[in-house]
Chains A and B, each alone.
Chain A
Amino acid sequence: MSRKINRRNFLKIFGGGVVATSATLTACTGKGNKTTASDQEPPKDKMVYRTNPNSGDRVSLLGYGMMRLPVVGGSERDNPNADIDQEMVNRQVDYAIEHGVNYFDTSPAYCRGKSEEATGIALHRHPRDKYFVATKLSNFSPETWKLEASQEMFENSLKYLQVDYIDYLLLHAIGGSGMDEFNRRFMDNGLLDWLVEQKEKGRIRNLGFSYHGAVSVFDQLLQWHDEGRYHWDFVQIELNYLDWNLANEINSSNTDAVYLYGELSNRGIPSVIMEPLLGGRLAKVPDYIASRFKARRPEDSVAKWAFRFAGTPEKVLTVLSGMTYMEHLKENISTYSPLEPITEEENNLLMAIADDIFNLKTIPCNECNYCMPCPYGINIPAIFSHYNKCIKEGLLPDDKQDPDYKKQRRAFLVGYDRSVPRLRQASHCIGCGQCSPHCPQSIDIPREMHKVDVLVENLKRNGKIKDVEE
C-alpha cells in the first residue's frame, strides 16, 4: 500500500481539476471585488455533476446524507430521543433539489429507524426523475439474517421511501467483522443473489456496498467483480485528508483511502464518499491548525477544505454530507458550485495537517451513533466528543505541574457533567462490548471508555488537598 502520494499519482488522481480551476478563474474575472448579498447565497445552476459509467446517471457531487437529520429542538446530539423535525427536513430537501443536489442517502437504521420515512415524505413531493435515492441493507442484527427478514427490510425501504425502485442499494457496512459475518449476512442465506435478481427486475438500479474495516473483505469482493461473479456498480468508502494515508495508522483494522480509491478507480467503479468531514471532526480542528488554513485562504471555512479534498478525485461520484442545518447545506452547495479542486501545493498542506491531527491522539469517533443505544444507557459519542474537544483545545489536564492544571481540571470535570449526565458517563460502562462490533471506525469502545473513566477518576482524586481541620 503506497504511503506517500507522489507527483505523478497526484496528477493522475487530482489532475482533472486543473481545467475546472482555470475555467472558474476566467469566469470570475472582473467581478472579483464586488461583495453583495447574493455572493453569500449559493448559485442554483453551478453544481458539479459526475457521470456514473454503469448507468449513465448524472449525479451531483454533493450528496445529501440523511443520517444526522434535524430533530425537534435542534440537533440529535443534544436531544437524542427527540423526533425528527419533518418540516425542517422538507425545507432543506427542497432547497437542496432546487440547487442541483440529486443524491439522497439513507438507511433503515438511521435516526433510530426513522430516517427512511422522513426521507420518503420529503422526496415524494418531487418528481421521481429529479432525484436518486440510496438506501442500504442494514441487516446487522442476527434476527435479520434470515432471507425473509432481510427481504422484508428491503420491501419496507420501498414502502417508507414511497418508491417502486431504489436507485442505489448498498450492502451496509461491509468489512467490520470479517468475511464470516459477510457470509452470514449475504451469502449463506442467498440474499445477495436475490438482490441481483431484484436488479434484473429493475427494482434496484445500482448495486454496491459501503465498506469499513478489514481490507481482506474489500479485496475479496473486488476479486468477485474481476471474476465476473458479481458486478459492483459503485462502492461507498470513507475518504478524507486524514484517512487518505493515515486510516490504517489510526486504527490497524481500517484501510487507507488512497488504496481503496485506487483499487476502485483502476476498475472503473465510481466511489461514493462518506465521512468527508469525519463527523465534523475535520471542521472542528484546534485553533493553530485552523489558522494555517485561514492563512492560505482567509475566506474559506475549515470544512470547505475537507469537502474540496473529497470532491477533487475524478472518479468520485458524489460526496455525502449529513447536513443537519441549513447553513451546512448552503455552504456545501457553494463549495461544489463549482468545485475548485485541491492544487498539488494545497494537497501537501493537507497531508502535513493530517499528520498534526493524527498526532493529537484523539479518539477517532465521528458520532455516527451506530453504537447507540448502549443497553446500559451510556452516551458513548457524547463522552468521546467531550474528551476530543478538550484535547483539540489543548485543555486536557494531563500535567499536574502545568500552572493551568487547576483551571483545566475544573473545565474538564464541569464540562463533562454538562455534556453527559452522570448516569450516562464512562464510569457506568460495564465493558460488555456490545457496542464495538457496530463501530465503523473499529474503536475498542470499552477500552477507550475505561481510559476516559480513569482520567476522570484521577482528576477527581487529585482535586483536593488532603486536609483536616484541627
Chain B
Amino acid sequence: MLRRTRILLATVAFVMVTLLFLDLTGTMRHSFGWMAKIQFLPALLAMNLVIVVALLLLTLVFGRIYCSVVCPLGVMQDLMARFNRKKNKYSYSKTKKWLRYGVMGVFIIALIAGVGSLVALLAPYSSFGRIANNLFRPLYEFANNALASYSASHDSYTFSSTDIWVRSLPTFIIAAVTFVVLFVLAYRNGRTYCNTICPVGTFLSLFARFSWLRVKIDADKCIKCGKCARGCKASCIDFKNYSIDYSRCVVCGNCIDKCDKKHAISYGPVKLTAKAETQEKEEQVDTSRRSFLMATAMATTAAVLAQEKKKVDGGLAEIEDKAVVERNTPITPPGSISASNMAKHCTACQLCVSACPNDVLRPSSGLLTLMQPTMSYERGYCRPECNECSSVCPAGAIRPITLDVKSSTQIGHAVWVKKNCIPVVDGVECGNCERHCPVGAISMVLLDENDELSPLVPAVNESRCIGCGACENLCPARPFSAIYVEGHEVHKQV
C-alpha cells in the first residue's frame, strides 16, 4: 500500500518536473511551475519560509518521503535502479557519517561564502535540472522536430521545429558525468548518493530520525530471513538487531512488501515521542561578493562579412555564425535585480535556460558562477513580449517581473564598435539596430557632423537603452556585431 502510493505519487511528480524542463510551448509552467518551487533548496534560497517549514514538518511527520516523491533526482535513481533486474541486490551497511556531514559542512560553507558553482554541483534539484536540460531535452526536441517536419508535410502548424544546441560545454559535461556516476551508483547500491553526498538528504535526515510515522520491525513476528534488508535501496535495515536507521530510510515501502507473508514490518506512529527542534537555518550570504570580471576585452577582429559581387542571379550568400562576445560584465536577465542577487539565490537548476524561447539564456562558464544563467545575443535577443525565465525561477534568483517593468529595466547598455559597422566598412546604408530598438534608444547620426555625405551610424542613448540585445542580434556585421551589450552589475529603472 505504502509502496504503491509512493510509486504513484513519485511518478506524477517526476513527470511534472521533467515536463517543466522539456516544455517547448511555455505553457507547462502554468500548471506545474509550483513543482519547482516546492523543491527544498530553491525554496530555502528564495527565503520561501512557508515551504521550508512545511517540508520540515512533512519530514517530522512522515520521514524522508520528500526524497522518495518530491525530489526528481531521487525518483530518477529509483528508475535507474530498475535496470538492475537482480533480486535481493542490496544489503545493510553502516552509515558513513564523516562523508555525509563532511559534504554537508562543505556545502553550507560554500553557500555562505557564495561559491555558487560548488553549491550547484552538490544540490540535488540542480543536478536533475542539468541532466534534464542537457540530456533529456535534446531527445525531446529531436522528437518534436521529427513531428514538426511531419506536420509541415501535412500543412499543419501544430508543431514547430526548434534549434538543438549545446549552450555550454562545461555544463553539458558536468551533467553527463553526474548522470553516469548516478547511474552506476543507483544500479549497484540504490540510494548511495542520497545517503552519502546529497546535502539536502543529510539535512532532512536530522529531522527524519525523529519522525512520528516510521517503518518498524516487529521482533515477535520477524524470522530474520533478511529479505527486507536485501530489498532496501537505502541499505538502512539492520534486521539482525531489528533496527532501522531512520536518518537514511526514504520510506519507500519496499521492505513492507517484501515481508508481506509475515507482516513483521509495518509503517505507523512511533510510541515514544521525540522532541524535534525545527531550527530555521538562517541564511547568511556574503553580500559583498564581487562579480566576476572578465579580463578579456571584446576581440573585434573586423572580420566583416565578405561581400560577393553580384553578377549572376539566384543562390544564397553564406552567413557566418556570430561569435560569442566576452563581456566585461556578464548580463543577467531582467528580474534578477543584480549579479549578487543572482549569485546568492541561483541553484543553477537550468529551468530558466530551458524556458528561454529566444536562445538567449545559457549556463555561465565563469568559475564562481559556473552553470548559473547568463545572457548572450548571438542566436536571439531578450524579446519584449517574454518574461518566461522570471516566472519559472523557483529560487528567487530571477524574481517575477511584469512586461511593463521589464521594458524599463536596464540590464545593460549597448556599445558601438566603429570598426565593425557596415556603413563605415561597406559604405552601404544600414540602420537595422535603430529600426529594431524597442525603446528608441538608438538614433542614426552622421559619422562626421561636418560632412553631410558621411555615412549614418548609430548613436546609443545609454540612459534609455535597456540592454535587450535586439541591436546586437540583428546587426549585419559578422562574426562580431558592430553594436553589443555590456551588462550592468545592478539593474536599474530607466
Give A contacts to B, CB under 8 Å: 67, 76, 80-81, 108-113, 138, 140-141, 143-144, 368-370, 372-377, 379, 410-411, 414-415, 417-418, 423-424, 427-434, 438, 450, 453, 457, 460-464, 466-470
- A430/B310 contact (C-beta < 8 A), A377-B319, A468-B390, A468-B401 known: no
Chain B min CB distance to A397 (Å): 12
Judging by beta carbons under 8 Å apart, are B404 and A466 in contact? yes
Judging by beta carbons under 8 Å apart, are A370 and B313 in contact? yes
Chain B min CB distance to A334 (Å): 29
- A112/B314 contact (C-beta < 8 A), A376-B305, A432-B430 known: yes
Q: How far is it, in angstroms, between the C-alpha of A244 and the C-alpha of B311 when the chains are bound? A: 31
- A438/B310 contact (C-beta < 8 A), A430-B428, A466-B404 known: yes
Interface centre among A80, A109, A372, A432 (most CB of B within 10 A): A432
Judging by beta carbons under 8 Å apart, are A431 and B312 in contact? no
A110 CB contact (under 8 Å) in B312, B430, B436: B312
Name the residue on B nearest A107 (C-beta): B313
Report whether over half of chain B's contact residues are helix, strand or loop; otherwise say mixed: loop
Per-residue contact bits, chain B 432-452, to A (CB 8 Å; 1 contact, 0 not): 100110000000000000000
Chain B interface size band reads 35 or more
Judging by beta carbons under 8 Å apart, are B157 and A414 in contact? yes
Name the residue on B nearest A408 (C-beta): B157
Judging by beta carbons under 8 Å apart, are B308 and A375 in contact? yes
B476 CB contact (under 8 Å) in A76, A373, A428, A434: A428
Judging by beta carbons under 8 Å apart, are B305 and A460 in contact? no
Q: Which residues of B contact A428 (CB under 8 A)?
A: 432, 474, 476
Name the residue on B nearest A144 (C-beta): B311
Name the residue on B nearest A450 (C-beta): B435
Report whether over half of chain A's contact residues are helix, strand or loop; otherwise say mixed: loop
Q: How far is it, in angstroms, between the C-alpha of A292 and the C-alpha of B313 when the chains are bound? A: 36
- A76/B385 contact (C-beta < 8 A), A433-B429, A469-B391 known: no
Q: Does B403 contact A (CB under 8 A)?
A: yes
Q: How far is it, in angstroms, between the C-alpha of A302 and the C-alpha of B34 when the chains are bound? A: 56
Q: How far is it, in angstroms, between the C-alpha of A239 and the C-alpha of B390 when the chains are bound? A: 58
Judging by beta carbons under 8 Å apart, are A468 and B315 in contact? no
Q: How far is it, in angstroms, between the C-alpha of A463 and the C-alpha of B27 when the chains are bound? A: 13
Name the residue on B nearest A381 (C-beta): B314
Name the residue on B nearest A77 (C-beta): B314
Judging by beta carbons under 8 Å apart, are B315 and A112 in contact? yes
Q: Which residues of A contact B432 (CB under 8 A)?
A: 428-431
Kindly identify, within residues 369 to 414 of chain B, every residue whose CB is under 8 Å from any CB belonging to chain A.
383-387, 390-391, 400-404
Kindly identify, within residues 438 to 494 of chain B, every residue whose CB is under 8 Å from any CB belonging to chain A.
474, 476
Q: Which residues of A contact B221 (CB under 8 A)?
A: none
Name the residue on B nearest A379 (C-beta): B316
Judging by beta carbons under 8 Å apart, are A430 and B431 in contact? yes
Q: How far is it, in angstroms, between the C-alpha of A468 and the C-alpha of B309 when the chains are bound? A: 50
Chain B min CB distance to A265 (Å): 30
Judging by beta carbons under 8 Å apart, are B313 and A368 in contact? yes
Q: How far is it, in angstroms, between the C-alpha of A433 and the C-alpha of B312 when the chains are bound? A: 17
Name the residue on A nearest B314 (C-beta): A369
Q: Does B50 contact A (CB under 8 A)?
A: no
Judging by beta carbons under 8 Å apart, are A460 and B383 in contact? yes
Per-residue contact bits, chain B 317-334, to A (CB 8 Å; 1 contact, 0 not): 111000000000000000
Chain B min CB distance to A297 (Å): 27
Extra pairs beyond A110-B312, A373-B314, A430-B422 (20, CB < 8 Å): A110-B313, A112-B312, A138-B312, A140-B311, A370-B313, A372-B313, A372-B315, A374-B317, A375-B310, A377-B319, A410-B157, A424-B316, A424-B319, A429-B432, A430-B430, A430-B476, A464-B386, A464-B403, A468-B390, A469-B29
Q: How far is it, in angstroms, between the C-alpha of A369 and the C-alpha of B313 when the chains are bound? A: 6
Task: Show 30 A/B contacts (Cβ-Cβ < 8 Å), sorted by A.
Answer: A76-B314, A80-B315, A140-B311, A143-B309, A369-B314, A373-B317, A375-B307, A375-B308, A377-B317, A379-B316, A414-B160, A423-B319, A424-B319, A427-B436, A428-B432, A431-B429, A431-B431, A431-B432, A432-B429, A433-B428, A434-B428, A453-B435, A460-B383, A461-B384, A462-B385, A464-B385, A464-B386, A468-B387, A468-B402, A469-B400
Q: Which residues of A contact B311 (CB under 8 A)?
A: 109, 113, 140-141, 143-144
State the 6 A-B residue pairs at the shortest beta-carbon distance, nearest first: A113-B312, A432-B428, A369-B314, A377-B319, A430-B430, A414-B160
Give B contacts to A, CB under 8 Å: 29-30, 33, 152, 157, 160-161, 305, 307-319, 383-387, 390-391, 400-404, 422, 426, 428-432, 435-436, 474, 476
Name the residue on A nearest B402 (C-beta): A468
Q: Which residues of A contact B476 (CB under 8 A)?
A: 376, 428, 430
Chain A min CB distance to B309 (Å): 7
Judging by beta carbons under 8 Å apart, are B400 and A470 in contact? yes
Name the residue on A nearest B26 (C-beta): A464
Chain B min CB distance to A457 (Å): 8
Chain B min CB distance to A224 (Å): 28
Chain A min CB distance to B306 (Å): 9
Q: Which residues of A contact B161 (CB under 8 A)?
A: 417-418
Q: How far is it, in angstroms, between the C-alpha of A376 and the C-alpha of B430 when the chains are bound? A: 11
Chain A min CB distance to B31 (Å): 11
Q: Which residues of B contact A80 (CB under 8 A)?
A: 314-316
Name the residue on A nearest B391 (C-beta): A469
Q: How far is it, in angstroms, between the C-alpha of A414 and the C-alpha of B312 when the chains are bound? A: 32
Name the residue on A nearest B379 (C-beta): A422
Q: Which residues of B contact A423 (CB under 8 A)?
A: 319
Q: Which residues of A contact B313 (CB under 8 A)?
A: 67, 109-112, 368-370, 372, 438
Name the residue on A nearest B433 (C-beta): A430
A417 CB contact (under 8 Å) in B30, B160, B310, B316: B160
Q: How far is it, in angstroms, between the C-alpha of A110 and the C-alpha of B312 when the chains are bound? A: 6
Name the residue on A nearest B163 (C-beta): A422
Judging by beta carbons under 8 Å apart, are B305 and A375 in contact? yes
Judging by beta carbons under 8 Å apart, are B316 and A373 in contact? yes
Q: Which residues of A contact B390 (CB under 8 A)?
A: 468
Q: Which residues of B contact A431 (CB under 8 A)?
A: 429-432, 435
Q: How far is it, in angstroms, between the C-alpha of A138 and the C-alpha of B311 when the chains are bound? A: 9
Judging by beta carbons under 8 Å apart, are B316 and A372 in contact? yes
Q: Which residues of A contact B429 (CB under 8 A)?
A: 430-433
Q: How far is it, in angstroms, between the C-alpha of A438 and the C-alpha of B308 when the chains are bound? A: 15
Interface centre among B384, B390, B432 (most CB of A within 10 A): B432
Name the residue on B nearest A376 (C-beta): B476
Q: How far is it, in angstroms, between the C-alpha of A428 and the C-alpha of B435 when the chains are bound? A: 11
Chain B min CB distance to A76 (Å): 6
Q: How far is it, in angstroms, between the C-alpha of A415 and the C-alpha of B314 when the chains are bound? A: 22
- A141/B402 contact (C-beta < 8 A), A112-B315, A377-B319 known: no
Q: Which residues of A contact B404 (CB under 8 A)?
A: 466
Q: Which residues of B contact A450 (CB under 8 A)?
A: 435
A415 CB contact (under 8 Å) in B157, B316, B318, B402: B157
Q: Which residues of B contact A110 (CB under 8 A)?
A: 312-314
Name the residue on B nearest A367 (C-beta): B314
Q: Which residues of A contact B160 (CB under 8 A)?
A: 414, 417-418
Q: Which residues of A contact B402 (CB under 8 A)?
A: 466, 468
- A375/B317 contact (C-beta < 8 A), A108-B312, A431-B430, A464-B386 known: yes
Name the residue on B nearest A68 (C-beta): B314
